[in-house]
Amino acid sequence: MKRFLALATLLVLSATGCTASQEKPSSETRSGEPFTFRVLTTGLADPWEITWGPDGFLWVTEKTGKRVTRVNPSDGSKSTVITISDVYSTESQDGLLGMAFPGNFLKGSNDVYLAYTYDADPGPAVDRRTKIVRYTYDPAAHRLSRPVDLITGLSASTDHNSGRLLVGPDQKLYYSIGDQGNDQFKRFCNPIRAQDLPTAEDVGNRNWTTYVGKVLRLNLDGSIPSDNPVIRGVRSHIYSYGHRNPQGLVFGPGGRLFSAEHGPKADDEINLIQVGKNYGWPYVSGFKDDESYVYGNWSASTTPPCASLHYDNFAIPPSVPQQRETDWSSPDYVEPLKTLYTVPNGYNFHDPACGDQSYICWPSIAPSSVDYMPAEQGGFEGWRNSLLVTSLKNGALYCLRLTQDGGSVQGDITQFFKTTNRYRDLALSPDHRAVYISTDSTGLSGPKFGSPTEKLDNPGAILEFTYDGSR
């Protein structure tokens, strides 16, 4: 309880602290974990990507704030480097999303890459799309300017945009784009197109509608790399396919690319992304094991048509075609490295403690990002050579240890830093002793002591957890 009183005090102190001269936030120890904790800063509008810049500042995109903000990691003071009025953002999963720097950022290049949703319709209608844009940073004025569109007209949705952007060790852009949240909830009559691939004509016409449910790989000018895979006869921006909502992407040991992907009720996936491979969605959720998942394609219902059906999370009507995981196959299919968590058939997804919001209690954790803690340097020994995954639903950081060769996950998944928040992304300090976590401004977190809640401990904040090796 003491910790929560201290947190409340910190919140009051920092609520007015948006100026450059705010008092240094104080820290506290965490019981049972060798880390100290402080709220570095608050007042951010849905901080989304958080990245440690080579200038020693934390760079943050604010999804609904439509801003890129630099945060001083010593005192939490903030400055806005750009506000992008072109960003179209609602309270759903659209807005300013991914951000990435080239490998030589501030050492030869001042480029910054951003991904965001915008409205492509000039009139009152909304044509929600995604673009990736290059900006130029002025390190003297601390401002971003001179936007250049690299790719425009990508599909966008109120749901499952994914949106993670990286520059790889090969100096290519990697971008994850989700299945748009189709075949469920309000979008249940929209088919999932994660298995669809473009024709040569589509690519020639810059028709990117099949790019949903994919990991893309682009040259830094937005063009298609000449060494991208040829899949079913066509080379495009697609690097891998069959993804649901791969919101986490990170390069790990040996240049391996890992993803963290939101599963449906269960089966969040940790994947090793390989060139040209198929990750199975929507035919397979988690492992191909026929456990607690069957693909029901609502849009394919003809009698009656989908539009006259009522969506149900738990019961698929007889008119909706269903397919078992083991009845599907693809020569390119790759199983996940790990799932969080797979449950057997017959599992009860209705937890009465969760009421109408039962999704918050399902076995999936909503993995919003993934980072890599190297084997050889500093920080908490228990995390060396591990993937660190943030959870939206559980307000915790999950650690998955990699094998020595870096190609698979070993041992039990361990959980750290539990609070009543929605953890969106993380960044590591260069010495790997400090972990910075961005938190959503609103939404549901839980269950902590039985019930999910919208009363978040630290909405719209950056939390700092520092390894205290002396304890």
| Residues labelled catalytic | 160
Q: DSSP character for 8? A: H
280 binds Ca ion (CB under 5 A): yes
* Helical ranges in 169-230 per DSSP H: 200-204
CB of 219 to Ca ion, least distance (A): 22
CB of 124 to Ca ion, least distance (A): 6
Cβ proximity to Ca ion: between 167 and 427 the closer is 427
Pick from 286, 296, 447, 452: which binds Ca ion (CB under 5 A)?
286
Gap between the Cα atoms of 54 and 58, Å rounded: 9
CB of 198 to Ca ion, least distance (A): 21
Closest to 265 in 3D by CA, of 341, 377, 191 = 341
119 binds Ca ion (CB under 5 A): yes
- Stretch touching Ca ion by CB under 5 A, among 139-147, 203-211, 215-223, 423-431: 423-431
Token pair for 249: 């992407």
Cβ proximity to Ca ion: between 17 and 367 the closer is 367
Cβ proximity to Ca ion: between 98 and 395 the closer is 98
Residues between 320 and 359 with contacts to Ca ion, criterion CB under 5 A: none
How many chain residues touch Ca ion (CB under 5 A)? Answer: 12
- Give the strand pairing for 257-261 and 268-273: antiparallel
Pick from 86, 91, 121, 312: which binds Ca ion (CB under 5 A)?
121
Contact 7, 14 (CB under 8 A): no
Cβ proximity to Ca ion: between 289 and 468 the closer is 289
CB of 28 to Ca ion, least distance (A): 24
Burial of 288 (0-12, 13-18, 19+ CB in 10 A): middle
Residue 128: count of CB within 10 angstroms of its CB: 19
Closest to 119 in 3D by CA, of 164, 66, 167 = 66
CB of 416 to Ca ion, least distance (A): 17
- Stretch touching Ca ion by CB under 5 A, among 66-74, 195-203, 209-217, 424-432: 424-432
Gap between the Cα atoms of 459 and 26, Å rounded: 18
Gap between the Cα atoms of 295 and 59, Å rounded: 39
425 binds Ca ion (CB under 5 A): yes
Cβ proximity to Ca ion: between 76 and 242 the closer is 242
Contact 152, 134 (CB under 8 A): no
Q: Which residue is nearest to Ca ion (CB)?
A: 121
Q: Which residue has the tokens 């089966």?
A: 267
Pick from 48, 101, 279, 380: which binds Ca ion (CB under 5 A)?
279
Token pair for 397: 């950081």
CB of 159 to Ca ion, least distance (A): 18
405 binds Ca ion (CB under 5 A): no
Cβ proximity to Ca ion: between 299 and 330 the closer is 330
86 binds Ca ion (CB under 5 A): no
Token pair for 227: 């060494």
Gap between the Cα atoms of 288 and 278, Å rounded: 13
CB of 291 to Ca ion, least distance (A): 5
CB of 281 to Ca ion, least distance (A): 6
Sketch the per residue contact string, 426 through 455, with Ca ion: x for CB under 5 A, - otherwise.
-x----------------------------
Contact 65, 45 (CB under 8 A): yes
DSSP-derived secondary structure for 404-428: TTSSSEEEEEEEE---SS-EEEEEE
423 binds Ca ion (CB under 5 A): no
- Stretch touching Ca ion by CB under 5 A, among 93-101, 300-308, 419-427, 458-466: 419-427
Gap between the Cα atoms of 35 and 42, Å rounded: 20
Cβ proximity to Ca ion: between 167 and 306 the closer is 167
33 binds Ca ion (CB under 5 A): no
Long-range contacts of 386-391, Cβ-Cβ distance < 8 Å, separation of 24 or more: 387/250, 387/252, 387/258, 387/260, 387/270, 388/426, 388/435, 389/248, 389/260, 389/270, 389/340, 389/365, 390/248, 390/423, 390/424, 390/425, 390/426, 390/437, 391/365, 391/366, 391/367, 391/423
Cβ proximity to Ca ion: between 42 and 247 the closer is 247
Sketch the per residue contact string, 34 through 53, with Ca ion: x for CB under 5 A, - otherwise.
-----------------x--
Query: Which residue type occupies 425?
Result: D
Binding site for Ca ion (CB under 5 A): 51, 119, 121, 269, 279-280, 285-286, 289, 293, 425, 427
